[in-house]
Amino acid sequence: MKIKQIKETLGATVLEGPDNLEIEVSQVYASDLMSDVLAFGKPHSILFTGLATRQAIISAHMAEFKAVVLVRGKIPNDNSVKMARDTDLILMSTDLDMFDACVRADSIQKGKALSSESVSEKAFPEELLLAQELVIEGDDFASAGMVSTGIKSTLKKIGLDNVLIRRIAISTYEAEMNVVMHADKGKVFLTVTPTYVKVVIADQGKGIPDVESAMVEGFSTATEEMRAMGFGAGMGLPNINRNADEFEIQSEVGVGTTLNMKFLI
Amino acid sequence: MTTQDLIEKIGLKALSKFDPREVDGVFVSDMLSDVMAGAQSGNLWVTVQVHKSIVPAANLVDVSAVVVTGGKEVPKDTVELATKHDIAILATDMASFELVGKLYNLGLVAK
């Protein structure tokens, strides 16, 4: 099957790769364990994974894969994208979860169109109401909070419920402050569909060595200066966890941190 | 009780330009995440923080006004940003404790 077919069937976005996706792949390999990819992956395959780190790209390259599809709407950091470019791997991202992505890929292999009865409704990518990409500058305390403020007014214009907007605004503010305090630069990806709002914040920075501790209320690595400004109470990530319906952190020391937040409408 | 009532009854200084709002409860904190976690929409936020980032914070949690206590000088850029976003910045020479006592006597409570 061709990568182009997979892209279209999954409703995936190409993050890195040529315009021409007429490249054949022999099979789909789905895994989040990179040692499995190295042990069992066959050359010329396409990898479906929820791991958006540079290691996933390196492993796919070592196993001689042609392409990587990140499932569950994972957005890789710039280092992962660069690694894909350097190793000539096609890198894509889809909002589908692993199960639905596999079911849809299977339908291409079997050469049959999917009927709505054969898969869950989720397998059909949702209509996008809004997709925005914004930038947060690290260490820029003067503009801290402005990206979240912009997102709040955008969501107000869409006409979402005020209580929901407040939860999104609070979570986004905390994530934005984390980028300002601890990272060099961050990107915000805001997606709105009829059923959910997704905010992904991916930064380039020092990363979090111990995510479990960082999730504990009161844990903070903020400087005295930041605390004097009222930041770094160690409540940022717990606040996000409380306000988001789904919350996931991926962090790599020395590379950066990606927060995935989903709010159901 | 509105922001305008409070300005008159307690003698607060209005620094930014804003539309009057109903004040519903009080939240006192100088830690921004604390405000994010605990302040309710419509609360009056009492703090000694004066930097620009209090404006997006106040906007995002939707407080009815920010009251800066202890006679702290509020930088011009904070006031300008607040005016731009219709956020009330009020100021007083009273310490937070004293102000909160007055607010309590006016019947305002935590919400």
Per residue in A1-21, pLDDT tens?
899 999 989 989 999 988 778
A chain contacts of residue B59, beta-carbon cutoff 8 Å: 145, 149, 152
Number of domains chain B is built from? 1
Query: What is the residue range of A198's domain?
Result: 130-264
Per residue in A238-253, pLDDT tens?
999 999 999 999 999 9
CB contact under 8 A, A230 and B49: yes
Could you tell me if residue B73 is inside a domain? yes
What mean pLDDT is predicted for residues A153-161?
A: 92
Is the ipTM of this structure higher than 0.85?
no
Q: Which residue has the tokens 């890198």?
A: A91
Number of domains chain A is built from? 2
In tens digits, what is the pLDDT along chain B, a chain of 111 residues?
999 999 999 999 999 999 999 999 999 999 998 999 999 999 999 999 999 999 999 999 999 999 999 999 999 999 999 999 999 999 999 999 999 999 999 999 877
- Domain boundary (A89, A123, A157) is at A123
If pLDDT is split at 50, 70 and 90, which confidence band does A126 have? low
Tell me the pTM: 0.69
- Residues in Cβ contact with B98 at an 8 Å cutoff, skipping those fewer than 6 apart: none
A101 and A157 part of one domain? no
Neighbour-count burial of B76, counting CB atoms closer than 10 A to its CB (0-12 exposed, 13-18 middle, 19+ buried): exposed
Distance CA A237, CA A240 (A): 5
Of B34, B49, B56, the CB nearest to A229: B49
CATH classification of the domain holding A114? 3.40.1390.20
A204 and A258 part of one domain? yes
A201 and A88 part of one domain? no
A146 and A20 part of one domain? no
DSSP assignment letter at A257: E
Note the pLDDT of residue A228: 86
CATH classification of the domain holding B27? 3.40.1390.20
Element spanning B13, H or E: strand B13-14
CB contact under 8 A, B37 and A239: yes
Could you tell me if residue B20 is inside a domain? yes
- Domain boundary (A123, A143, A168) is at A123
Strand, coil or helix: what is A205? Answer: strand
A141 and A251 part of one domain? yes
Q: Is the pLDDT of residue A112 over 70?
A: no
Characterize the bridge pairing of strands A28-30 and A46-49: parallel
Distance CA A208, CA A200 (A): 17
CATH classification of the domain holding A191? 3.30.565.10
A82 and A58 part of one domain? yes
Could you tell me if residue B110 is inside a domain? no
